[in-house]
Amino acid sequence: MSGHSTYEPKTGFERWLDVRLPIIRMAKDTAIDFPTPKNLNYWWTFGGILAVCLVIQIVTGVVLAMHYVANSAMAFNSVEHIMRDVNHGWMIRYIHANGASMFFLAVYMHILRGMYYGSYKAPREVLWLLGCVIYLLMMATGFMGYVLPWGQMSYYGAVVITNLFSAFDKVIPGVGTAITTWLWGGFAVDNATLNRFFSLHFLLPFMIAGVVGLHIWALHVPGNNNPVGVEVKSKEDTVPFHPYYTVKDGFAILVFLLLFSWFVFFAPEAMGHADNQVPANPLATPTHIVPEWYFLPFYAILRAVPDKLFGVLGMFGAIAMLFALPWLDTSKVKSMRYRPTARWFFFLFVAATIGLGWCGGKLPDDVVLPVGRDAVTGEATGFTVVMLSQTLAIYYFAYFLVILPALGLFEKTLPVPENISTPVLPKGGAAMPSGAAASPEKKG
C-alpha cells in the first residue's frame, strides 16, 4: 500500500513477525494511520456501510445454508422450516432477505457519490472498474438468491432472465437456445437449475469479498477522492483514518442499521412480493412478473425496446456504461460542485433512473398520461409506461454517450480551490492549531 509506514514494532514478537509477515504493519498503515482527506462528507460513509452489509450477508447466508435444502421439491418448505422451527430462523432469514435490499440501496448511494464527485477519474480508473465488477457480481448473486426460496416469483424470475439469452438465436441460430439449455442444466428451469444457482449463490459472495480486497487496495494507492476533487497536497489536508473516520463511519453505519432493523423487525415483507409465498408452479404463470426493486430500472430498459435482442443488449449496455464512464467523461474537473451545468444533468440522470425503476414495476401498457379513450373498449389511451421508459432510457444513454463527453469540452467550470484546506477554513483563514488532529484523545 502507498505512503510511508509509521509502524514501529514495540514488542519482541511484533519485531519477529514484522520481518516474516508484516501483517500488523499493513493493518496499522491501512486502517489506523491511513491519511484520509479531512473534508469527506456523509456520502463517503457508504463504503464502510457496504463492508458491513457484505459481512452481514455472508454470516447470515452461511447459517441459512445449514438449514436450506436446494431441491425443487423441498426448497419452499425448507425456507418455511427456517421461518418456523429453526431458533431465530425468522430473524436470520429476514436479515438476509432485507439485507440484499439494503446492500443495493447502499451500493446505489456509493455509485452515485462516485459519479457526482468524479471519483472514477485519473488516477482512480482501476478502483472504479473493480467497483463495477463488484456491482455486477452483486447483481448475479442477488438474482440467484431470489430464486432459492422457489416461490412463484423466484421461478418465473429465473425463467425470464435465463430466457434472455435465447435472444442470441437471432445472431447465430441455435446459439441462444444452447446457452439457455446450458444455464438450466436441462430443457427447463428445474431442479438442476436450482442446485447450480444455490452453488453459485454460495460462491459469488466470496468472490465479491476478494474483489473488495482489490478495491480497497486500489483505493489506498491514490488515496480517497474528496468533495472538492482536489488531490491531497500536504499533511494539513488529511487526518488519520482512526479515530476520525472510524467514528464518523461508525455513526453512519449505526444510522443505516436503524433503517435496516426497521425493515427486518417491522416491515420484513415490504420489499417482497405476495406471489413468492406461493410455491413455484411451472403450469401457472403469475399475472405480473416483476424483479426485485433494485433491478427495476434495467428491467424497464429491457422492456422499452420492442426487439428482444436489442432489449437485452440495451439492458447489459446500461451496465456497460458504468464501466466506460472514466473514458466518457472528458472534463478535467472532478467534483460537480465546480461543474454548474453537469450537476443539473446529473440530477436529471438520477431522476431518470428512479423514473425507470418506477416504470419497471408497472405494466408496459399502463397509461401514464391519458389523452383519449379507445373507441371499442373505452380504455384510456395516451402516453404509456413503455413510452415513458423509452424516453427515460434515451436520456440514460445520452447522459453517458453524449452529455458527459460534450460537457467536458464546452462547460464553463467554476474556479477550483487550491487545496482541500482552503474551502473548509473559516473566513479569515485561521488554520487548525498545529497538531490538533494528531492525537485528539489526549487533549481536553
Partner 1 sequence: MQFGQSIQTKLSGLIAAIAVGSLALLPVAAHAKTNEKEPMEVHFSFEGPFGRFDQAELQRGYKVYAEVCSACHSMNLVSYRDLAAPGGPFYDPKHPVAPAQSPYAKAIAEQYKVPDIDPDTGDTIQRTATPADHFKAPFANDAAARAANGGALPPDLSVMARAREGGPAYIYSLLLGYEEPPKGLTVPAGKYYNPYMAGDMGSYWTGAKTQIPEGGFIAMGKQITASRVQFDDKTPSTVENEAHAVATFLAWTADEHQVERKQTGLAVMLYLFVFTLITYLSYRRIWRNVAH
- Per CB under 8 A, contacts with partner 1 among 88-127 are 90-91, 94, 101, 105, 108-109
> Does residue 418 interact with partner 1 by CB under 8 A?
no
Which residue number, 83 or 179, has a Cβ lying nearer to partner 1? 83
Comparing C-alpha atoms, which of 88, 94, 59 is closest to residue 272? Answer: 94
> Does residue 261 interact with partner 1 by CB under 8 A?
yes
The window from 57-65, 135-143, 301-309, 419-427 that contacts partner 1 (CB under 8 A) reads: 419-427
> Does residue 443 interact with partner 1 by CB under 8 A?
yes
- Residue 319 C-beta: closest distance to partner 1, Å: 18
Q: Are 372 and 419 in contact (CB under 8 A)?
A: no
Q: Are 113 and 119 in contact (CB under 8 A)?
A: yes
How many Cα atoms occupy the beta-carbon half-sphere of 192 within 13 Å? 10
Q: Interface residues for partner 1 in 354-393 (CB under 8 A)?
A: 354, 357-358, 361-363, 366, 376-379
Q: Are 171 and 309 in contact (CB under 8 A)?
A: yes
The window from 162-170, 176-184, 268-276, 332-340 that contacts partner 1 (CB under 8 A) reads: 268-276
Q: Which DSSP symbol is given to 286?
A: -
Comparing C-alpha atoms, which of 212, 240, 246, 237 is closest to residue 29? Answer: 240
- Residue 254 C-beta: closest distance to partner 1, Å: 4
Q: Interface residues for partner 1 in 230-249 (CB under 8 A)?
A: 239, 243-244, 247-248
How many Cα atoms occupy the beta-carbon half-sphere of 322 within 13 Å? 22
Candidates 7, 202, 293, 397: give the one binding partner 1 (CB under 8 A).
Answer: 293
Candidates 127, 230, 296, 392: give the one binding partner 1 (CB under 8 A).
Answer: 296
Residues counted in the chain: 444
How many Cα atoms occupy the beta-carbon half-sphere of 220 within 13 Å? 22
Which residue number, 28 or 362, has a Cβ lying nearer to partner 1? 362
Q: Which residue has cell 452453488? A: 199
- Residue 203 C-beta: closest distance to partner 1, Å: 28
> What string of DSSP letters covers 224-274?
---TT-PPP-SGGGEEEHHHHHHHHHHHHHHHHHHHHHHHHHH-TTTTS-G
Size, binding site for partner 1 by CB under 8 A = 75
Helix (H) or strand (E) holding 369: strand 367-373
The window from 19-27, 155-163, 214-222, 274-282 that contacts partner 1 (CB under 8 A) reads: 274-282
Which residue number, 144 or 153, has a Cβ lying nearer to partner 1? 153
Comparing C-alpha atoms, which of 154, 143, 144 is closest to residue 289? Answer: 154
- Residue 144 C-beta: closest distance to partner 1, Å: 20
> Does residue 422 interact with partner 1 by CB under 8 A?
no
Which residue number, 38 or 334, has a Cβ lying nearer to partner 1? 38
> Does residue 254 interact with partner 1 by CB under 8 A?
yes
> Does residue 43 interact with partner 1 by CB under 8 A?
yes
Which residue number, 5 or 261, has a Cβ lying nearer to partner 1? 261
Q: Are 282 and 191 in contact (CB under 8 A)?
A: no
Q: Where are the alpha helices (DSSP H) in 117-234?
A: 125-147, 152-163, 175-184, 191-220
The window from 58-66, 67-75, 77-85, 393-401 that contacts partner 1 (CB under 8 A) reads: 77-85
Phi, psi for 367 (deg, rounded to 5): -95, 125
Candidates 13, 16, 182, 265: give the one binding partner 1 (CB under 8 A).
Answer: 265
Candidates 15, 84, 233, 332: give the one binding partner 1 (CB under 8 A).
Answer: 84
